[in-house]
Structure 1
């Protein structure tokens, strides 16, 4: 009976969030309200669209922005996959602004990089224009989105506006021999990086590996990995942890019981959101 009641409560919560998604204004509680704009174009490609959620919380301080980046092996996926998780995050971080973005996908005719990191940059430029200030950013992504969050923050954030990275089951070192067992690794080698972009002496795989760009100025990073993930090997979290330790970067990593796609299932999602809250408080004190 208790299990049935729990399932019903979860269903009602999801129904409430779905109804909220259909409105221009979202109310997630008595005092939690957001204005929503869907499918804002930040570039000329049909893929370059984002959803924007602006908190109605009154504050004298300029609000930080979560940029949510979906997974899908760099050539698939959609922001809709993270809509419910974004709304769950909004319930906890109701004094923040949220972006849930799509990006240009890699294909047989289009390289993933630098397009995908350029798209994150374009989103930040759009935010600066719409908000009237240049906000501090928290990049949060899962799988390929976790990889892109790290890669952008460590290599391409020239303005140093990324205050933290939340990496969920993202590959950090594409040269890792264990990661070479990834079933789509040949696609990663051939189509992830435009060969004209890396400087001489830098391989395409190293160019696309976040750990290769970590230095003492890299932002704090929280990582979340599954203990039975068949896509991202456990060696990835160890390599990332070692690189962050070597450069004395504030970081934490946690494991959940499950595979690559289980991170946002209950209770893993609730655990993660609580850890993000605690971690971000530490970054303010840093």
Structure 2
């Protein structure tokens, strides 16, 4: 009896430790659908598909941070022993959302010969910038360290993000091997370097004439742009764009504010002859990637870009 009680206490403590932080559940596919359906009555949520060529391994622990355990979901084509990998970062204003929102896209892209990973990272109610960025960089290291298990070619890594996840993807790609970031993450035999960026409606600069970032960004960045100007600059991918930036794909909605800084970034990339590609999905809302008919278009542009860069 005492032994059973002790085991139950251990389980209870583990659950408490794992959930001892605030969670914002406001940004979901369903809530976004309910918000958009009146203006876009033709939209549908893509059906979940099972693909016998895609292996799914969910809730893989990639990092333990004190009492907090972080997970990823892996979806990879088993046809080849070594696939290009796609690291996938969900959106939600750095505050809400979760990795399950990337599963449908992950399965679709994996079915085309890739290994895809939906990443859990600490959001702003739990940890301020740049902790969530460090989490994803650590996930990249973990995936490279376990490349054989996940059928990954560690020299062909893309990072893809949607909305705030797109902002993070661009920042992660432009800070490849930047000591200000790399020195803060876990040491391993692998680096967190990525070889391509896919930014789906994510800003490139927080403080910019095209930007309209406010409360959500301030909360994540620990203060307003007047209070924390250096952090707002440091968190902007445009500030780090240089001759080492990898090729980048921009997939955009029809709202200009969600690509603030993009044209300035492309000008720098063109100076160094670094490949970039832009696709604007006309008459689309933000969060278009969740819904048909835009889901298929998003996957198509992504797969074509990945094939061009890696295959």
**What interval of TM-score do these two structures reach, taking the shorter chain for normalisation?**
0.7 to 0.9
- What are the ranges of 5 or more consecutive residues in structure 1 without an aligned counterpart? 1-9, 21-25, 28-32
1:239 to 2:264 alignment: yes
1:104 corresponds to which residue? 122
TM-score, normalised with respect to structure 1 = 0.76
2:185 corresponds to which residue? none
The 8 Å contact of residues 37 and 52 in structure 1, kept in 2 or not, is answered as yes
- Aligned residue for 1:48, secondary structure, equals strand
- What are the ranges of 5 or more consecutive residues in structure 2 without an aligned counterpart? 1-43, 179-190
CA distance in 2, matches of 1:216, 1:57: 35
Q: Aligned to 1:44, which of 50, 61, 64?
A: 64
| CA separation of 1:74 and 1:150: change in aligned 2, threshold 3 A | same
- Aligned residue for 2:174, secondary structure, equals helix
The 8 Å contact of residues 111 and 191 in structure 1, kept in 2 or not, is answered as no
Q: Aligned to 1:274, which of 294, 297, 300?
A: 300
- Give the CA deviation at 1:160: 7.5
Q: Aligned to 1:81, which of 98, 101, 110?
A: 101
- Aligned residue for 1:136, secondary structure, equals strand
1:250 to 2:270 alignment: no
CA distance in 1, matches of 2:250, 2:278: 4
CA distance in 2, matches of 1:146, 1:179: 15
Aligned residues: 249
| CA separation of 1:224 and 1:76: change in aligned 2, threshold 3 A | same
1:170 corresponds to which residue? 202
The 8 Å contact of residues 63 and 135 in structure 1, kept in 2 or not, is answered as no
1:96-123 CA distance string (max 9 Å, x none): 211111101122x62130x122112221
The 8 Å contact of residues 143 and 169 in structure 1, kept in 2 or not, is answered as yes
1:213 to 2:240 alignment: yes
- Aligned residue for 2:146, secondary structure, equals helix
The 8 Å contact of residues 214 and 247 in structure 1, kept in 2 or not, is answered as no
CA distance in 2, matches of 1:106, 1:263: 23
| CA separation of 1:87 and 1:134: change in aligned 2, threshold 3 A | closer
TM-score, normalised with respect to structure 2 = 0.70
CA distance in 1, matches of 2:97, 2:59: 15
1:4 corresponds to which residue? none
1:14 corresponds to which residue? 47
- Give the CA deviation at 1:276: 2.3
| RMSD, aligned α-carbons | 3.0
- Give the CA deviation at 1:186: 3.1
- Where relative contact order (Cα < 8 A, 6+ residues apart) is larger, the structure is 2
| CA separation of 1:191 and 1:119: change in aligned 2, threshold 3 A | farther
CA distance in 2, matches of 1:50, 1:233: 26
| CA separation of 1:181 and 1:49: change in aligned 2, threshold 3 A | closer
| CA separation of 1:187 and 1:152: change in aligned 2, threshold 3 A | same
1:124 to 2:149 alignment: no
1:196-230 CA distance string (max 9 Å, x none): xx9xxx8111110001111112100000111136x
| CA separation of 1:218 and 1:71: change in aligned 2, threshold 3 A | same
1:146 to 2:166 alignment: yes
- Give the CA deviation at 1:56: 1.2
1:72 to 2:72 alignment: no
The 8 Å contact of residues 162 and 199 in structure 2, kept in 1 or not, is answered as yes
